[in-house]
């Protein structure tokens, strides 16, 4: 009886078959990421405001140091998320590469300290916005996290906690990239602590929500 049902199910499934475009997983996750980032960018412009000196900042190296740092983290975590969207996968070994940008920024922060008198150190690490930065990054990561998780749930992750964590880090890092449009801070020390803090927070939340919200 039930085997007949299975046979009928197979007929139905084969009946409406549509071809799958190549690189479908990459495309879907990429689309989710970009659309989430677009929402975050609009939110940034409407609520926080774009920094008025953006055009000048684009010509300096600080803006690019910040963007490259969080951008590279977003890229690595995003690629790892693509991997995790397939069943039976574990986080890729090359994920340790994401330590590289962290080490570079830490080295830059060290250089900053050497070139700054002791009384300026707290400004290096705390800037003007350390109290809000991680939470703004976290807040901006919400739309991205939601679009990513919805897409991942429709794919086939089997390691839900790791997938959630990577989705969280991807959302956090790309939210931080968007946040660069607003944030006027300019030191590597600030970036290292508070940006990374926001991203890590997003990753932790992702890990805790993964098992519940990614189930299929």
Partner 1 sequence: MRSNEERLRPLMLAALAGDARSYHEMLNEAAALLRVYFRRRLGHAGEDIEDLVQETLIAIHTRRATYDGIRPFTAWMFALARYKLIDLLRRGQGEISFDGMEEILSGGDFESATMARMDVEALLASLPAKQARAIRDTKLEGLSVAEAAASEGLTVTDVKVSVHRGLKQLALRLRGK
Q: Which residues bind partner 1 (CB under 8 A)?
A: 2-3, 5-7, 9-11, 13-15, 17-20, 24-25, 28, 85-88, 154-156, 158, 215-216
- The residue (of 2 and 59) whose beta carbon lies closer to partner 1 is 2
Asked if 155 and 214 count as a contact pair (C-beta separation under 8 A), the reply is no
Q: How far is the CB of 148 from partner 1 (least distance, A)?
A: 15
Asked if 169 and 199 count as a contact pair (C-beta separation under 8 A), the reply is yes
**Residue in 101, 92, 110, 95 with CA at minimum distance from that of residue 159:** 92
CA distance 92 to 102: 18
**Residue in 15, 41, 10, 17 with CA at minimum distance from that of residue 174:** 41
Neighbouring C-beta atoms of residue 192, cutoff 10 Å: 21
- The residue (of 19 and 52) whose beta carbon lies closer to partner 1 is 19
CA distance 52 to 112: 25
- The residue (of 62 and 156) whose beta carbon lies closer to partner 1 is 156
Q: How far is the CB of 215 from partner 1 (least distance, A)?
A: 7
- The residue (of 67 and 158) whose beta carbon lies closer to partner 1 is 158
Q: How far is the CB of 11 from partner 1 (least distance, A)?
A: 7
The angle, 0 to 180 degrees and rounded to 10, between the axes of the packed helices 160-179 and 196-213 is 140
Q: How far is the CB of 21 from partner 1 (least distance, A)?
A: 8
How far the first Cα of the chain sits from its last, in Å, is: 26
- The residue (of 166 and 175) whose beta carbon lies closer to partner 1 is 166
CA distance 146 to 51: 26
Asked if 164 and 211 count as a contact pair (C-beta separation under 8 A), the reply is yes
Q: How far is the CB of 74 from partner 1 (least distance, A)?
A: 22
Q: What is the DSSP letter of 19?
A: P
- The residue (of 128 and 154) whose beta carbon lies closer to partner 1 is 154
């Amino acid at each position: 009886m039930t085997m007949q049902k299975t046979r009928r199910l197979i007929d139905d499934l084969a009946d409406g078959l549509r071809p799958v475009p190549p690189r479908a997983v990459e495309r879907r996750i990429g689309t989710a990421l970009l659309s989430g980032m677009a929402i975050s960018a609009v939110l940034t412009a409407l609520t926080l405001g774009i920094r008025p000196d953006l055009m000048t900042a684009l010509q300096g190296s600080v803006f690019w140091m910040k963007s490259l740092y969080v951008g590279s983290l977003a890229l690595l975590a995003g690629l790892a998320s693509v991997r995790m969207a397939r069943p039976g996968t574990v986080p890729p070994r090359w994920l340790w590469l994401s330590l590289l940008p962290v080490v570079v920024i830490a080295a830059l922060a060290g250089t900053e300290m050497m070139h700054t008198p002791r009384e300026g150190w707290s400004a290096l690490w705390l800037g003007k916005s350390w109290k809000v930065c991680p939470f703004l990054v976290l807040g901006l990561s919400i739309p991205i996290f939601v679009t990513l998780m919805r897409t991942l749930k429709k794919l086939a992750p089997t390691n839900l906690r790791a997938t959630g964590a990577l989705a969280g880090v991807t959302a956090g890092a790309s939210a931080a990239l968007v946040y660069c449009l607003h944030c006027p801070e300019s030191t590597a020390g600030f970036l290292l602590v508070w940006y990374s803090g926001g991203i890590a927070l997003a990753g932790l939340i992702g890990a805790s929500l993964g098992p519940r919200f990614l189930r299929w």
